[in-house]
C-alpha cells in the first residue's frame, strides 16, 4: 500500500468535503423546495470535484499524465455543471448543445495536452474557459439577485465566483506568459503541491457556499412575497396594500402628483354563498380578482381588504381618471360573467372612489372617504360607483 504525503492527505480531505457537499445537495433537494435539476447538477459538481482530487492523487503516485488529464476533465465538467445548474435555477437555461460542444473542446484539449508541445496551450485554453464560466456565473447571479430578487447587495453573492474566475484566469495567464515553465512543470513532475490543495479546498467550498446562499435568498424572497399575498385571490393582503398606500403617500410628498383609490365591494355576496355554497363564493372572489387584474394597469396595486372587499391603488391618477377606471371595471364584470357548475351570472360591485388631496391629507382619511362613497353607492342601489368628497 502506497504511503500518502501530507499534501495527498490534504487533497483527500478535499475529496471527503466534496462528498459531504454532494450528500448535502441530494438531501436538500429531497426535503427543501430547491429546483431539483439544479441541486442534482450541483451534487454532480461536488462529486466530480471530489473524484478529480482522488484521480490527481493517483496521477501523483503513478506519475501518469493520462490520469492527470482525466482529473482535469473532471474539474472542467464539474464547473460546467455548476454553471448550468445556476442558469437553470435563475430561469435562464442555455442550450444543451453549447455544453456538449464545450465538453468536446475540453476533452480534445486535454488529450492534445498529453503532448508536451501542447501542454501549456491546454492549460491556457481550459483555465481561460473555466475563468469565463465562473465570471459568467458571477454576473448571472449578480443580475438575478439585483433585478429578480431586488437585493441591493447582490455583489456579495457573486463575489466567490468572481474570485474563482481570478484563480483560473491567473493559471491561464501563467501558461500564456511563461509557456515553457508550465510545459516543463507538467512534463517533469506530476506531484501535487500543498498550494493547489489549499486553492481547491477554498474555492470548491466557497462556490458551494455561494450556491447555498443563492438558494437561501430566493427562499427568503419567496416567503416574503407569499406573506404579502392573499392566499385565495393572489392579490395583496390588507397589510401589504396598506403599506403600499403609505409608501405612495410618502412618495408623492409635497409634489402635485395625484393618486386615487377604489374601494370595491361585491354586491349581495351572501346570496352566492347561500345559494351555491362557500366553495362557489371562493371561486366568485377569484373571478373578481382576475377581472380586476386584467383591467388595471401594471403600476396599479390591488389588495383584498377583507371578506368580499378590495382596494385598488391607482398611482398618478386624479379623480376623473379614477372614475373612468371604476366604470371600466363595472363594464368588464358585465361582459365577463362568472360561471359555476353550468350556470353563468354577472357579478356586480359597488365602488367608492377617493383621490389624494395633497400633503395635508392622510391615508386613513382617504380610505374613510372611499368607504363613505362605497356606502353611498350601496345605498343608492349597488352596481354603481360614487366619488368621495
Ligand X SMILES: Nc1nc2c(ncn2[C@@H]2O[C@H](COP(=O)(O)OP(=O)(O)OP(=O)(O)O)[C@@H](O)[C@H]2O)c(=O)[nH]1
262 by Cβ neighbours in 10 Å (0-12 / 13-18 / 19+) ranks as buried
281 forms part of the interface with ligand X (CB under 6 A): yes
Segment lying near ligand X (by CB under 6 A), choices 31-39, 66-74, 106-114, 276-284:
276-284
382 forms part of the interface with ligand X (CB under 6 A): yes
Nearer of residues 144 and 340 to ligand X, judged by Cβ: 340
5 forms part of the interface with ligand X (CB under 6 A): no
Cell numbers for 265, please give them: 365591494
Of positions 64, 196, 273, 319, contacts ligand X by CB under 6 A: 273
Nearer of residues 103 and 232 to ligand X, judged by Cβ: 232
Phi, psi of 194 (to 5 degrees): -65, -30
Of positions 2, 209, 268, 294, contacts ligand X by CB under 6 A: 268
Q: How far is the CB of 234 from ligand X (least distance, A)?
A: 13
Residue nearest to ligand X (CB): 281
Q: How many Cα atoms occupy the beta-carbon half-sphere of 228 within 13 Å?
A: 14
Q: How far is the CB of 301 from ligand X (least distance, A)?
A: 20
Nearer of residues 159 and 232 to ligand X, judged by Cβ: 232
Q: Which long-range contacts does 178-186 make (Cβ < 8 Å, 24+ apart)?
A: 179/120, 179/121, 179/124, 180/120, 182/119, 182/120, 182/123, 183/116, 183/117, 183/119, 183/120, 186/65, 186/68, 186/113, 186/116, 186/119, 186/120, 186/123
6 by Cβ neighbours in 10 Å (0-12 / 13-18 / 19+) ranks as exposed
Nearer of residues 33 and 307 to ligand X, judged by Cβ: 307
Nearer of residues 279 and 332 to ligand X, judged by Cβ: 279
Segment lying near ligand X (by CB under 6 A), choices 23-31, 58-66, 94-102, 264-272:
264-272
348 forms part of the interface with ligand X (CB under 6 A): no
> How many chain residues touch ligand X (CB under 6 A)?
16
Residue whose cell numbers read 367608492: 352
Which residues sit opposite 338 in a β-bridge?
A: 345
Q: How far is the CB of 264 from ligand X (least distance, A)?
A: 11
Q: How far is the CB of 337 from ligand X (least distance, A)?
A: 17
Residue 265 Cα to chain centre, angstroms: 35
378 forms part of the interface with ligand X (CB under 6 A): yes
282 forms part of the interface with ligand X (CB under 6 A): yes
Nearer of residues 65 and 267 to ligand X, judged by Cβ: 267
Nearer of residues 39 and 266 to ligand X, judged by Cβ: 266
Q: Using CB under 6 A, which residues numbered 308 to 337 contact ligand X? A: 308
Residue whose cell numbers read 383584498: 304
Segment lying near ligand X (by CB under 6 A), choices 75-83, 89-97, 274-282, 291-299:
274-282
Instruction: Give, in order, the Cα–Cα distances in Å from 295 to each of 290, 326, 336.
Output: 9, 10, 12
Q: Using CB under 6 A, which residues numbered 222 to 241 contact ligand X? A: 232
The Cα–Cα gap between 160 and 15 comes to 20
Nearer of residues 274 and 331 to ligand X, judged by Cβ: 274
174 forms part of the interface with ligand X (CB under 6 A): no
Angle at CA 89, nearest 5°, toward 87 and 91? 70
Residue 247 Cα to chain centre, angstroms: 25
Cell numbers for 127, please give them: 483555465
Nearer of residues 228 and 382 to ligand X, judged by Cβ: 382
Binding site for ligand X (CB under 6 A): 232, 265-270, 273, 278, 281-282, 285, 307-308, 378, 382
Amino acid at each position: 500500500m502506497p504511503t500518502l504525503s501530507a499534501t495527498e492527505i490534504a487533497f483527500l480531505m478535499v475529496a471527503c468535503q466534496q462528498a459531504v457537499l454532494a450528500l448535502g445537495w441530494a438531501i436538500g433537494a429531497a426535503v427543501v423546495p430547491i429546483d431539483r435539476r439544479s441541486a442534482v447538477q450541483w451534487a454532480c459538481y461536488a462529486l466530480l470535484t471530489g473524484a478529480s482530487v482522488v484521480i490527481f492523487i493517483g496521477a501523483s503516485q503513478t506519475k501518469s499524465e493520462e490520469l492527470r488529464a482525466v482529473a482535469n476533465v473532471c474539474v472542467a465538467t464539474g464547473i460546467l455543471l455548476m454553471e448550468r445548474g445556476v442558469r437553470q435555477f435563475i430561469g435562464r437555461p442555455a442550450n444543451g448543445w453549447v455544453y456538449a460542444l464545450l465538453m468536446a473542446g475540453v476533452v480534445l484539449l486535454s488529450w492534445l495536452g498529453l503532448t508536451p508541445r501542447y501542454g501549456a496551450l491546454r492549460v491556457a485554453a481550459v483555465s481561460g474557459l473555466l475563468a469565463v464560466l465562473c465570471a459568467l456565473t458571477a454576473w448571472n447571479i449578480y443580475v438575478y439577485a439585483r433585478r429578480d430578487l431586488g437585493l441591493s447587495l447582490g455583489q456579495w453573492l457573486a463575489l466567490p465566483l468572481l474570485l474563482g474566475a481570478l484563480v483560473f484566469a491567473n493559471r491561464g495567464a501563467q501558461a500564456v506568459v511563461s509557456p515553457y515553465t508550465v510545459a516543463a512543470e507538467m512534463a517533469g513532475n506530476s506531484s501535487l503541491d500543498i498550494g493547489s490543495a489549499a486553492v481547491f479546498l477554498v474555492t470548491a467550498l466557497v462556490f458551494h457556499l455561494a450556491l447555498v446562499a443563492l438558494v437561501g435568498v430566493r427562499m427568503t424572497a419567496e416567503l416574503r412575497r407569499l406573506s404579502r399575498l392573499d392566499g385565495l385571490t393572489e392579490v395583496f393582503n390588507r397589510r401589504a396594500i396598506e403599506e403600499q398606500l403609505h409608501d405612495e403617500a410618502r412618495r408623492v410628498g409635497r409634489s402635485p402628483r395625484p393618486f386615487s383609490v377604489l374601494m370595491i365591494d361585491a354586491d349581495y355576496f351572501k346570496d352566492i354563498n347561500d345559494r351555491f355554497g362557500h366553495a362557489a363564493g371562493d371561486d366568485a372572489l377569484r373571478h373578481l380578482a382576475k377581472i380586476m387584474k386584467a383591467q388595471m394597469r401594471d403600476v396599479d396595486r390591488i389588495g383584498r381588504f377583507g371578506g368580499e372587499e378590495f382596494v385598488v391603488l391607482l398611482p398618478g391618477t386624479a379623480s376623473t381618471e379614477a372614475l373612468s377606471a371604476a366604470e371600466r371595471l363595472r363594464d368588464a364584470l358585465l361582459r365577463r360573467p362568472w360561471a359555476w357548475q353550468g350556470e353563468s351570472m354577472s357579478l356586480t360591485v359597488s365602488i367608492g372612489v377617493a383621490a389624494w388631496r395633497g400633503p395635508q391629507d392622510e391615508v386613513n382619511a382617504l380610505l374613510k372617504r372611499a368607504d363613505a362613497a362605497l356606502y353611498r353607492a350601496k345605498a343608492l342601489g349597488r352596481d354603481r360607483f360614487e366619488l368621495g368628497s
